[in-house]
Every structure is written in structure tokens, then in C-alpha cells.
Chains A and B, each alone.
Chain A
Amino acid sequence: MEIGLIAIGAGLAVGLGAIATGFAQARIGSAGIGAIAENPELTGRVILLVAIPETLVILGFAVAAMLIILLGG
């Protein structure tokens, strides 16, 4: 039972982070493609901006890993 709850918690930590990242990247990505169409020199900066929200899911992953390693035994 307890292990199941830990697993659900870990899944939520990664999943919710991934959803948030997806929302942010969708908006940044569409605006970024528009910017690249106007000025292809912005490609590098757009990649950077699109990649920034990924920190959310990585932090979710860190939380999930801590839950599993520290509580899951």
C-alpha cells in the first residue's frame, strides 16, 4: 500500500512537471517559430528559450527520485 502511494506520488511529480513544461514549451515554441521565420539568426536563442521550461520536469524527476530512493527503500 505504502509503496503504491510512493509510486503514485513519484508519478505525479514527474507527470505534473511534464504537463507544465508542455504548456510552456507549446507557447514558447509557436512564438519562437514565428520569430525564426522573420529572422533565422534567432534559431539559437529560440532553442534556448524552448529548453528553459524543461527544468520543471527535471525538478519533478528529482523529487520523484528522492521519493523513491529515500522513502521507497
Chain B
Amino acid sequence: MLVPMAKVNIVGHRSSLDPVLTSLHRASLLQVIDVNDDSGVRLPPLTIDDEDLAAIEDLRYLRARLDSLLGLLPGAVGPPLETGPVDFEELRSELDRTGPEIEELVGRLDALRREKEALPRHLESLRRLLPLLPDMSGLDDYETTALLVDARHAGVLGELNEGLTLDLEGNFEMVSDRIDPRTIGAVLIYPRHAAPEVQRRLGHEQVSRVRLPGEYETLSFREALVEMERRLAELPAVIENAEDAVADFVRAHPHWPAARRAVAGRLDQLGAIRRLGATSHTFVLSGWVPREQLDQLRHHLESEVGGGAVVHEAEVGPHEEPPVLMRNRAPARPFESLVKLLQMPRYGTIDPAMLMLIFLPLFFGMMLGDVVYGLILIGVAAYVRRRASETGFVHDLSRVLIFGGMWTVVWGVIYGEYLGDLGHRLFGIEPIWINREEAIEPLLLFSLAVGAVHVVLGLVLGIWQARQMKDRHKLGERVGMLIALIGLFAIAGAAAGMLPDSFMTPAIAAAIVGVVLLIAAGGVMGLLMGPLEVMGTIGNVLSYLRIAAIGLASVYLARVANELGVAAPLWLGVIVASLFHGLNLVLGVFSPTIQALRLHYVEFFGKFYESGGKAFRPFGADDTDQLRPTYQP
């Protein structure tokens, strides 16, 4: 159901503006709108004084600072503590004081983690080169450079040797060997004073030397190896200490998330001032409130600001469109997410969430239709539901799949399918109604019948809605379509011998009347579009054949799984059959979900759904302002 909205004007003395905004923000019942939006009343906007402008700047700084600090702190984003009013001055000085400290702590932790990742790579290079490294004790005037060269470019070492022979007149030593199938290691030993020539030659031949991190550069390779191994062994404890320091800091500042929310809230309040109107002594605030909560808003404001402000219900302007709030009973609530996935419905139109609750899981079950698949699906979806956050899309989708799983079990019993035909093979279980593998014709006809009922229901809803909205054009169009469709169904029934022949003439008449009505409603374009729309709607009904088609694909894949399972030895057969059934279940969940959604979005909604509504966003409950941690340990 779409909640009826009331438009209100809240008028108060300017001196009560601040408490009124604070109170409304806390109540989260009202969506504030620009006072001059279509209200017919023209008021000069309330100007923000210099003090408030400065406050906005300060608060923005605080919010950005808190965001960056909270983003750095793992585990700091939790349910905010209720700490009462926040002193923004004190908060600012606290942030200025402690900010650098936490930045340093987290920076150090990051550096340690990077070091822990990098050290093993350096160690590996050193270990591979070690057999080539000579003992350099007593050769203080000499320098060593290690090289790693891709084995495919081994020729470069020969060129380097020739180049250095020219440059240093042979006063150097180069040892090289293959250290693994893809790499050649080389070590150069040369007089310390010749280092610039060696570097130049290495640059010329484009050979890169093995570089050690800064703190190890002054050590010999052997010393560096020992030192790195020691450091790597001590790093886990050092990192743990640094993590403890960060965690201690988080524990010492549990009020920051609440402070961040308070800052954002105050910014919201000050931002709303621009949307208010003013006279010399009063302010006027306009907004939308769910009609059933209008009295609650009045009581709330009266108890918090007394006579400081009065709530008037205002006339809704002819071009004003209230925001949309969907409120359904618990089972239909997850389907609201699926409706919103398309677009919000317009205010005053039909909320299709309840209809989706009825039909979507039903279609899903008709397609998948297998008792064991249904039970597995219910189990998996229930597990996902427990793990997912309470309000997210995944949570809603898992609830939709639980309903789908229930219908899958029901249709599985009707079709007699337990892991395809395994139930029949092992226990001789027979279907209650039809065996989908054999009775294809009844299955197709049943799918078409379901489609006809669903499309006709959509048209009836569309007619009701067009009448409510006093849209004569749409009313004529939909009534014409309904009559034409009924006529065509009757023609098909009579032609197939399901209805007496005497039905044929009135059926043809009904189809003609329907098409004429459609053409009349469409004006000049109706001549072309009317018949085309009838064809399109017949296509819509035929589209429900996918219920049978997807179902058949699932049945045959399950059968293939069982056949393969029987063909192999028992243990192998069980594995192969399980793999195929697993694949079938994954496909069988994905495909019916998409197809059932499509049948709703295209075939069903197309007959009545009016999209384009704007969601209701009460002042003080802006969920886009939620904190998102950017840093995880």
C-alpha cells in the first residue's frame, strides 16, 4: 500500500526556529520541501545569517575530519552511543589534538603490514642468489651488485660482460648461473671507485639490479639475509602491538560515531533553513507527513516546543505530487525492493508489492517445481537471510527465494518430481497432476491460461486505476483491450472446440468492438497502434509459455543427471549426479527468478503500473548519510 500523505505548513516565531528544527529532525516524520514549491503562497525565503553560515562551514570541516578519522579506525563504526548533546567546540579541539596521533598510529600499522608483505619477496631473491655470492670479508675496497635476468634474455649478460671489459679494462669479476628454470642470477664484483661506470653500463644494457629496502642497503647480502629473517620473525608480534594500540584508541573514543551523527544532523537542520519562508517575525516550513502520523507530529512538536509553532494542514496544489512511501505487511515487504528495482510507483497509484507476493513465488515454483530442490533452496535462502544485514537487498531477496522455495515444493509434489525422476525411479512416487516430461501439451496450455489470467488481472487493475485518475484516454484503451482480448480468447476456445460454436459470432463481435474502442481511444494514431497493441498483448500472453519452457529445461537436465548417475559405478554415479543436480539447481534458481521478474515487469506491470514517484525522505532519517568504513584490518 502507498501511504496517504498530508501536506503541512508549520508556522512559528523566529525565536523558536532552532528548537522546532531540532525537534522535527529528532521526530523523523516530515519531509521538508521548499516553501515556494507550487504552494500558491509566495514568501521571501528565510536568509541564513552570518553566524549560521560560519557554523555550517565549521560543521562541514568537523564532518570531513570525523569521516577521515572514522574511516581509518577499524571497528569504530558501530551503533552510535547515545551521549546526549555534543559540544562542537570541544569536539573540534579533541579532533585537532588526537587526529595526528591516530593518523600516526594507523600510518605505522600500514607501514608494518606493507613491510610484512614485501620482505618475503626480497628474501626469496636473496636466497636464490646466495650460492653465487663470494665471501667478501677483507675486500672492503670492492662492491658487489646482484642481478636477476630472465632466462629468455640470457644474451644480455654476454653484452654486459663485453661492455664492462671495455669500461673497466677487465678489472671486475662476473659470476652467473641459472638459479631456476626461468631466471639467471649474476653477481658483479668491482672496485668501489668504478661504481658509476658499472651503473651507467647496467643502465645502457637495461639490466636492473637486485635492490634491497633502504634500511638494508648498507649491509652485505649475507648480513641483509640474516637481518631480514630476524625482522620477519618479529613482525607478527610488532603488528599485533600496533593493532592493539589502534584498538585501544578506538575504545578510548567510543563517542565519535555518535558525534559524527550529531554533526551531520545539525548540518541537515541548518541546510533546511534555505527551504523555509519568512515574514518579519515568523518562519514557515512546508513538508509532507504520512497522514496517519500527522497527529503524532502535532503532539511531538507541542510537547517539545509548546506554543512556539503551529502545524496547519495545507491544500495540495494541482501540480504537486506527494512523495511515495510503501508500507506493506511483513510478508510483502521484501517485494518492495523488487518494485523499487524498477522505479518507485507514482503517488496515488497501485502498490504492486502485495500482487508480487502472490504471483512471483507462484511462477517461480511452477518453473522449478521439484520437492528436493525447493527444500535445498529454502535452507540456503534461510541461511543467507540470517547472515545478511536486516535491511539490505540480499536479505529481501533471500526472503523472496524462501517463498519461491515453498511454492517449488508444492509444485514438486504436483509434478511428482524429487530430484527430477529420482523419486519415481527409487520409490515409485507418482505426480498428483501431470508428469511434465510426458504431458507437454497440458503444461503449455496451463502456462497460457496462467498468462491470460495474469494479463487480464493487470488490465482490470489498469482500468480501475485509470478510473481513479480520471484518465479517459487510458480508460478507453484498457477497456477496449480487455474486450478485444476476451473476444479473441472466446474465438480460440470456440475454434478449438472447447466452447460451443454459438460462441463464435459474439466472440468475433467482442473482438471487433474492443479493437474499435482501442482505435477510438488512440485518435488518428490509434488506427495503426490499436491493432498493433492487440498483437502485443497476445504476445504478452504467449510470453507466459516461458513458464513451461524453463520448467522443461530443468526437468530434462535433472533427468540427464539421473541417467548419468545410473550409467556409472555407484560412487562415481552419485558424484556425477550430484554435480549435475547442483548445476541444475543454480540455473534453476537464477533463471526462474529473472523470468518471473520479467513476466511481472513487462507483461503484468505494463498494463497498470505508473512509475516515476519520488521516495519519501523524512528530515532526520537520511540513510545516505550512514557511515561506510573504508578501512578494514
Chain A interface residues toward B at CB < 8 A: 43-45, 47-48, 51-52, 54-55, 58-59, 61-62, 65, 68-69
Check: B546 CB closer than 8 A to any chain A CB.
yes
Write out the residue numbers on chain B whose beta carbons fall within 8 Å of the beta carbon of A65.
440, 444, 545
B313-343 vs A, CB cutoff 8 Å, 1 = contact: the mask equals 0000000000000000000000000001111
CA distance A65 to B442 in the complex (A): 12
B341 and A47: CB pair below 8 A?
A: yes
B529-562 vs A, CB cutoff 8 Å, 1 = contact: the mask equals 0000000000100110110010000000000000
Minimum C-beta distance from A58 to chain B (A) = 5
Of A45, A55, A59, A62, the residue contacting B342 (CB under 8 A) is A45
Of A43, A51, A62, A68, the residue contacting B598 (CB under 8 A) is A51
Known contacts A51-B602, A61-B549; A44/B343 CB under 8 A: yes
B602 and A61: CB pair below 8 A?
A: no
A55 and B594: CB pair below 8 A?
A: no
Known contacts A44-B343, A47-B601, A65-B444; A58/B594 CB under 8 A: no
B545 and A69: CB pair below 8 A?
A: no
A43 and B543: CB pair below 8 A?
A: no
B441 and A69: CB pair below 8 A?
A: yes
CA distance A48 to B597 in the complex (A): 8
B440 and A47: CB pair below 8 A?
A: no
Of A43, A45, A51, A55, the residue contacting B539 (CB under 8 A) is A55
B343 and A45: CB pair below 8 A?
A: yes
Write out the residue numbers on chain A whose beta carbons fall within 8 Å of the beta carbon of B597.
47, 51
Write out the residue numbers on chain B whose beta carbons fall within 8 Å of the beta carbon of A44.
340-343, 601
Identify the closest chain A residue to B536 (Cβ): A55
B601 and A58: CB pair below 8 A?
A: no
A69 and B343: CB pair below 8 A?
A: no
Minimum C-beta distance from A54 to chain B (A) = 7
Identify the closest chain B residue to A48 (Cβ): B601
7 additional A-B pairs beyond A44-B601, A59-B542, beta carbons within 8 Å, are A44-B343, A45-B343, A51-B595, A51-B602, A52-B602, A58-B546, A69-B444
Of A43, A58, A68, the residue contacting B545 (CB under 8 A) is A58
B341 and A61: CB pair below 8 A?
A: no
Of A43, A48, A59, A62, the residue contacting B602 (CB under 8 A) is A48
In chain B, positions 587-605 with a C-beta closer than 8 Å to chain A are: 594-595, 597-598, 601-602
CA distance A48 to B595 in the complex (A): 10
Write out the residue numbers on chain A whose beta carbons fall within 8 Å of the beta carbon of B444.
62, 65, 69
Of A47, A62, A69, the residue contacting B594 (CB under 8 A) is A47
Give the top 8 A-B pairs by smallest Cβ distance, nearest first. A44-B341, A51-B598, A44-B342, A48-B601, A61-B549, A58-B546, A62-B545, A69-B441
Write out the residue numbers on chain A whose beta carbons fall within 8 Å of the beta carbon of B595.
51, 54
B549 and A69: CB pair below 8 A?
A: no
CA distance A52 to B341 in the complex (A): 16
Known contacts A61-B545, A62-B542, A69-B441; A47/B598 CB under 8 A: yes
13 A–B pairs (Cβ distance < 8 Å), ordered by A:
A44-B341, A47-B601, A48-B598, A51-B594, A52-B598, A52-B602, A55-B539, A55-B542, A58-B546, A59-B539, A62-B542, A65-B440, A65-B444
Of A48, A54, A68, the residue contacting B546 (CB under 8 A) is A54
Minimum C-beta distance from A13 to chain B (A) = 12
Minimum C-beta distance from B448 to chain A (A) = 9
Minimum C-beta distance from B361 to chain A (A) = 18
CA distance A44 to B597 in the complex (A): 10
CA distance A44 to B340 in the complex (A): 8
Minimum C-beta distance from B614 to chain A (A) = 12
CA distance A59 to B601 in the complex (A): 19
Minimum C-beta distance from B258 to chain A (A) = 30
Write out the residue numbers on chain A whose beta carbons fall within 8 Å of the beta carbon of B546.
54, 58, 61
CA distance A51 to B597 in the complex (A): 9
Identify the closest chain A residue to B539 (Cβ): A55
Write out the residue numbers on chain B whose beta carbons fall within 8 Å of the beta carbon of A58.
542-543, 545-546, 549
Identify the closest chain B residue to A64 (Cβ): B549
CA distance A62 to B595 in the complex (A): 16
Minimum C-beta distance from B613 to chain A (A) = 13
Write out the residue numbers on chain B whose beta carbons fall within 8 Å of the beta carbon of A52.
598, 602
Minimum C-beta distance from B591 to chain A (A) = 10
Minimum C-beta distance from A6 to chain B (A) = 14
Minimum C-beta distance from B538 to chain A (A) = 11
B543 and A55: CB pair below 8 A?
A: yes
Write out the residue numbers on chain A whose beta carbons fall within 8 Å of the beta carbon of B601.
44, 47-48, 51
